[in-house]
Amino acid sequence: MSNLQGKVALVTGAGRENGIGAAIAQRLAQAGAHVVVTDLCAAPTALPHGGNGAWEELTAVANSLTTYGVQSLPIRADVTKLSDMETAVAQIRDTFGRLDILVNNAGVIIGPAPVLHMAEESWRKTLEVNATGVFLTCKAALPLMIGGKQGGRIINISSIAAVRPRIYMSAYAGSKAAVVALTQSLAQEVGEFGITVNAILPGDVDTSMKQWGMMLEAAVTRQTADDVNAALINRIPVGRIGVPNDVAHIVAFLASAEAAFITGQAYNLTGGRELS
């Protein structure tokens, strides 16, 4: 297990108890890090959407982390607003005095559709959350990370859609490709401060957002959800879809001292799906 004793981490998009963000927060806490968790904690928009995290779930996630003997702080914050993220980082500075690990996990799938029929708002909001949100959170967090003069880790959750886009997912795929490019550019900018920047590209992971997506696909293709799930598993060499802990484990490694010489990389985490 990676030793992150005494480190302080910020994980965005952690307001779903069965989500990837919550699993990442738990794994970092298990390794000894104090973990700050954030989410928008607002009702979904009128556009087709997998849903946002809830304040009750976010606080439950934070409370669960204290069982590992670490401190945790839940913060309601919108990654698309620099002022929100700067306020969150100020709370981290006032509470812990440092920030060592940033995990940009917040992400959405809004109104997937053919480009010809996609709502302009769906395109703009998807890019705003998935790409601009990563930029703004990094912008807010870097002064504290650099000022600490102890290095750090930035881990961005992209998607296999960044390199293997699927039909009707142009906004999502484009936003996640932007995350990979940002990762590689930023890695070159902050390496001199001992800060590494890497991206993880998960494939199909069993979360409420994924279940929403499969139900949507089933409706569009006139199949049952079970048929969609079976076809999906058939395309994955390891014979199953991922679970949030699959992502959490590689995040913990990239956050550790063992990964100090790894930066600017994008790791596929798909069970081999992209090979088929």
Known active-site residue 168: no
H helices present in 128-258, as ranges: 133-147, 170-190, 208-221, 225-234, 244-254
| C-alpha span between 165 and 119 (Å, rounded) | 19
102 contacts: CB under 8 Å, gap ≥ 6: 9, 10, 137, 138, 141, 145, 152, 153, 154, 155
Q: Give me 151's structure tokens.
A: 């290095």
Return the beta strands (E) in the chain as ranges. Answer: 8-11, 34-39, 72-76, 101-104, 152-157, 195-202, 266-269
The tally of CA atoms less than 13 A away on the side-chain side of residue 163 is 17
| C-alpha span between 8 and 6 (Å, rounded) | 7
Helix 20-30, helix 244-254: angle, nearest 10: 50
Which amino acid belongs to residue 241?
I
Burial 203-231 (b: 16+ CB within 10 A, else e): bbbbbebbeebbebbbeeeeeeeeebbee
Catalytic residue among 68, 168, 172, 267: 172
Q: Are strands 195-202 and 34-39 parallel, antiparallel or unpaired?
A: unpaired
Question: Which residue shows structure tokens 């779930």?
Answer: 57
At CA 74, angle to CA 46 and CA 93, rounded to 5?
Answer: 120
Query: What is the set of active-site residues?
Result: 172
